[in-house]
Amino acid sequence: MRRQDDCILYQRSTGDLMSEQKLLILKNLEKEYIQGTARIHAIQHVSLEIEQGEFLVILGRSGSGKSTLLSLIGGLEQPTKGSIILNGQELGQFSEDELAILRRKEIGIVFQHFHLMEAMTAIDNVELPMLIAGLPRKDRRPWAIELLNMVGLSGRGSHYSNELSGGERQRVGIARAMANKPDLIIADEPTGDLDSARGAEIIDLLHDINQKNGDGSWAPTIVMVTHDVGMLREGMRVITLSDGKIQSDEIFDGDYERFDPLGNPSVVTGVSYNSDNPAVQDDDETNLNIS
């Protein structure tokens, strides 16, 4: 099994990234939860390949399995069946500790509720993952300043969380997610705590980061969960989920009318991911799938 030295992260070059075509491969994923006597099939028969540099949106109603799929992609949860291969490494082979090291280096996480350390300034929040990953002190501050500039917070580094607006806090959260230059950033409803204008700004920022990072040398793949069609941007790859299954997989062409406000895949008329598996017409809001 490959265990990486902390330094490798900071030595990675664009050329290295470009040569690795598939960032992530999901093969026949299943995720079941047991709740009392009920078995909940949160994810069913999901296979997916994500290329370096993609911006993938997982869209679906509440209970459709979006967060579960994102947790599997981010190595935060283990599948009941199937395999997840990140940068050629099968996650199932790793112990919990090894997975934690891998996540720290290769995956950045943006949370709906920001999860900033309240007792720390914005810049210290951004530096924290670098500290944990062992980046030398002399390198941490300049990179944190650069990251805060990148997310539009230059000069705000000395502010504490309670001195920042929701949108600014999420910008710090995004800068923190980029701290260790991860190949992958996962974001679960990153605009869920923001008004629509601030939310749109955050999406545009993530989109920019995905397209081209500030110094041009590194741009993360982004996988984002949302139930809000308004958060789609042209060129994003959109996967719709229903009952834990992929219903469609297409590049968003800017036509918002084809999705209902909750991303209900039953109205998606784009290329169907699996023609044997027509979109579910169920209007049940919770969409529980219990056997």
226 contributes a contact to ligand ADP by CB under 6 A: no
Identified binder of ligand ADP from the candidate list 26, 29, 52, 64, rule CB under 6 A: 64
Torsion, Cα 175 180 185 187, to 10 degrees, reads: -50
Of 64 and 180, nearer to ligand ADP (C-beta) is 64
| Number of residues located near ligand ADP, criterion CB under 6 A | 13
Residue nearer to ligand ADP on the CB measure, 7 or 288? 288
Shortest Å, Cβ 112 to ligand ADP: 11
Residue 207 corresponds to which tokens in the numbers above?
A: 């989109």
Q: Does residue 263 touch ligand ADP according to CB under 6 A? A: no
Compute CA 247 distance to the chain's CA centroid, rounded to the nearest angstrom.
19
Q: How far is residue 39 from each of residues 35, 44, 101, 245, measured CA to CA in Å?
A: 6, 12, 31, 16
Closer to ligand ADP by CB, 72 or 148: give it: 72
- Pick 253 or 285: Cβ nearer ligand ADP: 285
Query: What length does the chain have?
Result: 291
249 touches 49 (CB < 8 A): no
For residue 63, state whether it binds ligand ADP (rule: CB under 6 A).
yes
Does 35 interact with ligand ADP (rule: CB under 6 A)?
Answer: yes
Nearer of residues 60 and 190 to ligand ADP, judged by Cβ: 60
Is the C-alpha dihedral spanning 135, 138, 144, 150 positive or negative?
A: negative
> Does residue number 60 form part of the binding site for ligand ADP (CB under 6 A)?
yes
**Binding to ligand ADP by residue 265, rule CB under 6 A?**
no
Structure tokens at 173: 């959260």
Pairing of strands 38-51, 22-35: antiparallel
- Could you tell me if 278 and 250 are in contact, meaning their C-beta atoms sit under 8 angstroms apart? no
| 105 scored as a contact of ligand ADP (CB under 6 A) | no
What type of residue is 9?
L
Nearer to ligand ADP, 47 or 165 (CB): 47
Binding site for ligand ADP (CB under 6 A): 33, 35, 40, 42, 60, 62-68, 288
